[in-house]
Amino acid sequence: MGKDSIRLIANNKKAYHDYFIEEKYEAGIALHGTEVKSIRMGQVSVKEAYIRIEHGEALVYGMHISPYEKGNLFNRDPLRVRKLLLRRAEINKLVGRLQVQGYTLIPLSVYLKGNYVKVEVGLARGKKLYDKRESIAKKDQQREAEREFKIRNLK
C-alpha cells in the first residue's frame, strides 16, 4: 500500500440522490485509536450524517463508527460529535456559502489516504421532488441507450 493510495471505506450514495453537490472538499477527522481501528475494518456509516460549523470549527454529527471489538474501556460513543480538520480559509468560505438559503454540508465518503482517515465533504443544495424524478428519468434513458448500443454492437 503506497503513500498516496486511496481505499474507500464508506460511501454516501443517498447524498447524490437527495442533493446537488456543488463543491467537494477533503478533510481530516479527529479520532481516537479504537475508532481508527474500527474504520479500517469498514465499521463506519455516513448515511444520516451532516456537518455544522460552530465557533469556527467544522463538526460532523450522526456519523456512526461501531465500537471496536477488542477495545473494551477505550471505546468511545459510536455517535459522538467529531471535529473535521479543515483550513481556516476553507471554513470561512463555507460559512459564507452556508448563509445562502438551501445549502448544507454533508459527508460524501470516508476513505483511507495512506495512513490517514479522510472525509470527502460536499457543499450541497437540496433537490426538490421533481428534480429527483428528473434525475431518475435521465438515468433510465442512459441505461436504455447503453442497452440498445450493446445490442446493436453484438449483431
Domain spans, the chain:
6-127
Grid cell for residue 16: 447524490
How far, in Å, CA of 85 to CA of 69, rounded?
27
Q: Which CATH number fits domain 6-127: 3.90.470.10, 2.40.280.10, 1.10.1530.10, 1.10.357.10?
A: 2.40.280.10
pLDDT, tens only, 97-154: 888 877 889 999 999 998 899 999 999 888 777 777 888 888 888 888 888 887 777 7
State the pLDDT at residue 53. 92
How far, in Å, CA of 5 to CA of 142, rounded?
32
pLDDT, tens only, 57-103: 999 998 888 887 776 766 777 778 889 999 999 999 989 888 887 78
